[in-house]
Amino acid sequence: MTVAASSAVAGVVVPWHRAHIYKVLVCIVLALIALQYLSGAIDRRSIETIFTINTSRPPHQHRTLVIYGTGGSAASGSEDDMQDESASNASSSSIGIRASEASGAKNASSIESSAAGPTSKSSSDVNASNNNNNNNNNNNSDDGSREPPLCPAVPPNLVGPIAVSKSPPDLSAMERAFARVKQGGRGAPVECRARYRVAIVVPFRDRFPHLMTLLYNLHPLLLRQQLDYQIFVVEQEGTGQFNRAMLMNVGYVEALKERPFDCFVFHDVDLLPEDDRNIYNCPEQPRHMSVAIDKFLYRLPYSDLFGGVSAMTTNHFRMVNGFSNVFWGWGGEDDDMANRIKSRGLHISRYPANIARYKMLTHKKEKANPKRYEFLKSGKKRFLTDGLANLQYEIMVKKRPKLYTWFLVRLTPPAQPS
């Protein structure tokens, strides 16, 4: 309408001018069409969502962040997209704020405003990542009370790179600092309904200082990520060979006895996340999370690595029959899981290496299992029988200190594997 009117006005001037005005109008229309097309294309690509940190921060802390993942329409970007991005962005330095700008102490205080007690949520919410625009209009619960809205796909209080702290305060100070964490190491947002219910399972023995350091770094990050989470520490009793895989299987079984979880993050006690955009949510495909570790100069040692920190949905973990139980001592159990994943037609996904970064705490290396390559080679014929299917253990102690749920477990070695 506006265009037609202005042409008519132009039409009563001189023909020479009219020709020019038409040209200008055609250019404007073409430019508008191009703009519209481009913005649509950006939406469809949806790899990066640019957003500004919560304005409740002091002005000097306002930063614009780029997040890889699922935000608004960005939700339609799959993890595979992210994985593709990781190749092109591995060395990108365009992202986020510097670690020095977000201290551990600041993170701890930002928890206070962003999270508290558990919320209810159906297990189908694991698929919420595929449908992030589906939300919020129908917030009435069965009894008529008003439920909070579904949390945004991109948590609004993320800070990007974080300064890892390797010297946590003593336990009681830490318990006081994390006022929003509930007994047993549970956290969830109060302002919205979490999209994911996530169990964090930490296989453990003999490294209490490492555990404290991990908790000090992990709780604030998980709270900012608006997850409904619980940390389970599964400790192996005795002094025999450590069996990391079996402890993770026990964590899976015991966590599900407490309540339904959409997914599991299996977390070595010595790895500290360096960026809170490394979201601990439920992956469409099994996700290897500790992509870039300082000890390996932030390079992935090999493409099938699934050790360190990894995430799987409850269904996928069940589908692969959990981890193998035959790997006593260091090494091989994660490679066997990678084989299980592939055998089921799944694949390992990853966030970009400039986000999925960790610092490793130093410790004495465990004795490697001399039979690990042999077991790896023969693994395929045990996939159905060795794992959750033949897991045997005894819970010696179960406790709920403030910051985690703790199991002391006696593992029963499975019958001699073939």
Least separation, in Å, of the C-beta of 282 and ligand NGS? 23
Question: First CA to last CA across the chain, in angstroms?
Answer: 80
Using the minimum distance from each CB to ligand NGS, give the nearer residue, 114 or 249: 249
Strand 405-411 to 228-236 pairing: parallel
- Cα separation, 94 vs 354, whole angstroms: 10
Helices (H), 129-187: 171-177
- Cα separation, 73 vs 83, whole angstroms: 18
Least separation, in Å, of the C-beta of 336 and ligand NGS? 9
- Cα separation, 324 vs 349, whole angstroms: 21
Using the minimum distance from each CB to ligand NGS, give the nearer residue, 187 or 331: 331
Using the minimum distance from each CB to ligand NGS, give the nearer residue, 67 or 376: 376
Show the site string, 200-239: x = touches ligand NGS by CB under 6 A, - = not: ----------------------------------------
Least separation, in Å, of the C-beta of 150 and ligand NGS? 36
Using the minimum distance from each CB to ligand NGS, give the nearer residue, 203 or 331: 331
Q: How many residues bind ligand NGS (CB under 6 A)?
A: 9
Half-sphere exposure of 407 (CA within 13 A, CB side): 25
* All residues at 6 or more sequence positions from 163 whose CB lies less than 8 Å from its CB, including other chains: 99, 100, 102, 103, 104
Q: Under the criterion CB under 6 A, does residue 96 sit at the interface with ligand NGS?
A: no
Interface with ligand NGS in residues 304-323 (CB under 6 A): 307-308
- Cα separation, 120 vs 372, whole angstroms: 42
Least separation, in Å, of the C-beta of 305 and ligand NGS? 6
Least separation, in Å, of the C-beta of 374 and ligand NGS? 10
Interface with ligand NGS in residues 356-415 (CB under 6 A): 372-373, 376
- Cα separation, 341 vs 319, whole angstroms: 9
Using the minimum distance from each CB to ligand NGS, give the nearer residue, 85 or 336: 336
Using the minimum distance from each CB to ligand NGS, give the nearer residue, 283 or 331: 331
Least separation, in Å, of the C-beta of 295 and ligand NGS? 7
Residue type, 153: A
Residue by residue, what is the 3-state secondary structure of 268-312? CCCEEECECCCCCCCCCCCEECCCEEHHHCCCCCCCCCCCCEEEE
Using the minimum distance from each CB to ligand NGS, give the nearer residue, 207 or 400: 207
Show the site string, 320-349: x = touches ligand NGS by CB under 6 A, - = not: -----------xx-xx--------------
Do 408 and 396 form a contact (C-beta atoms < 8 A)?
A: yes
Chain positions contacting ligand NGS, by CB under 6 A? 307-308, 331-332, 334-335, 372-373, 376
